[in-house]
Amino acid sequence: MKCKKCDTTAVINMRQHKLALCGEHYLEWLPEQVERFIEKYRMFTRDEKVLMAVSGGKDSLGLWDILHRLGYHTEGLYIGLGIEQNYSDESRRLSEQFAAARGLTLHIVDVEDEFGATIPELSVISNRGHGKPCSVCGLNKRYIMNRAALEGGFDALVTGHNLDDEVAVLMQNTFNWAGGYLARQAPVLPAHDGLIRKVKPLCRIYEREMTAYCLVRGIEYIYEECPHAEGSTTIYYKEILNRMEGDRPGAKLQFYISFLQAKESGLFANAEQHVELHPCERCGQPTSAPGDCSWCRMWEKVKLAKKTVTMLG
């Protein structure tokens, strides 16, 4: 197959766009697309300073590379979660290596060093998540990212959620008719009540495209999946969606764009819920819970449990 732009051998064929490109033109094309969506959804400008949430995976490292190439003012945030099987150590090494090679600033928050337990330990002690640390992990990441972005004076927090992530969530929420969640899903979550603006520049980029970008660009990323991701709902929905995409190229993109259009026309307006937020009495971060936020309550449990162990020991 030939590159549509220069007639040399193509390295990727994007059936959903009826477009095949060689490596050189692909490395030009993808950043142009990302910039188009940053502008279309008014995510941020070159005058603003944004914090890129980095996991060491293909999406966040690939996106950080693109934003850097496009000349945006970015700094990175890596959260050390303490995931077993060398997963966190390796993802941190790759994130640090990436930032150092480009002279970019990477902020690191190590959960165990800062707060006293790894995420898997926290999940067991707090007894949340039905034996899986994913919900505890999500809560901690959201909390730490928001706090770091606000304290660092950033204008927005950037995450590497790609189109496949977005449609997997969309499909799950559609199957459950989870109106409140559908009403909130968007490329941009505006800042309000102590929450930083959150943006997803890859919301219309397939994860296949991000993998190809990293391979062609030579970006080393963590290839192995988080050991806790096995059997996850996201992967389940992604498998179904990829079967549909195989039969009908563009199905995922069409699902997402149609959703955004339906949302724009007010289809989910009645499902929008206004949640009253106020500062947590302990840490000051926004919460919908009365008194202390669930993050503070969770870590308070850990402190108590560790104190009890020390006393008994």
Partner 1 sequence: MATVKIKYRNKEYEVNAGMTVRDAIRKVGLEPETVLAVMNGQLVTDDTIIREGMEIKLVAVVSGGALPSPSGRGAGGEGEHYEM
Of the candidate residues 1, 6, 100, 262, the single one contacting partner 1 (CB under 8 A): 1
Q: In angstroms, what is the minimal distance from the CB of 313 to partner 1? A: 32
Distance CA 65, CA 67 (A): 6
For residue 201, the SS3 value is: coil
What torsion do the CA atoms of 37, 186, 295, 76 make, to the nearest 10 degrees? 0
Is residue 129 close enough to count as binding partner 1 by CB under 8 A?
yes
Of 72 and 237, nearer to partner 1 (C-beta) is: 237
264 lies in the site for partner 1, by CB under 8 A: no
Nearer to partner 1, 79 or 280 (CB): 280
Closest Cα to residue 43, out of 200, 246, 212, 272? 200
Within 22-51, the residues that bind partner 1 by CB under 8 A are: 23
Which residues in the 46-105 window bind partner 1 by CB under 8 A? 57-59
Identify which of residues 12 and 30 has a Cβ nearer to partner 1 in the complex.
Answer: 12
Give me the least distance between CB of 310 and partner 1, in Å please: 28
Q: Does 143 bind partner 1 (CB under 8 A)?
A: yes
Site string for partner 1, 221-250 (x = CB under 8 A): --x-xx-xx--xxxx--xx--xx-xx----
Per CB under 8 A, 279 contacts partner 1: no
| Structure-token pair, residue 81 | 């979660």
Scanning 6-14, 39-47, 109-117, 148-156 for contacts with partner 1 by CB under 8 A, the matching segment is: 6-14
CB 183 within 8 A of CB 273: yes
DSSP annotation string for 29-98 = HHHHHHHHHHHHTT---TTSEEEEEE-SSHHHHHHHHHHHHHT-EEEEEEEE---TTTHHHHHHHHHHHH
Which spans in 105-203 are helix H? Answer: 111-115, 119-126, 134-151, 163-175, 179-184
Count of residues near partner 1 by CB under 8 A: 71
Considering only residues 191 to 210 of the shown chain, the ones binding partner 1 according to CB under 8 A are 195, 198, 200, 207-208, 210
> Do residues 112 and 82 lie in contact, with contact meaning Cβ atoms separated by under 8 Å?
yes
Which residues within the stretch 160-179 sit at the binding site for partner 1 (CB under 8 A)? 161, 164-165, 168-169, 172-173, 176, 178
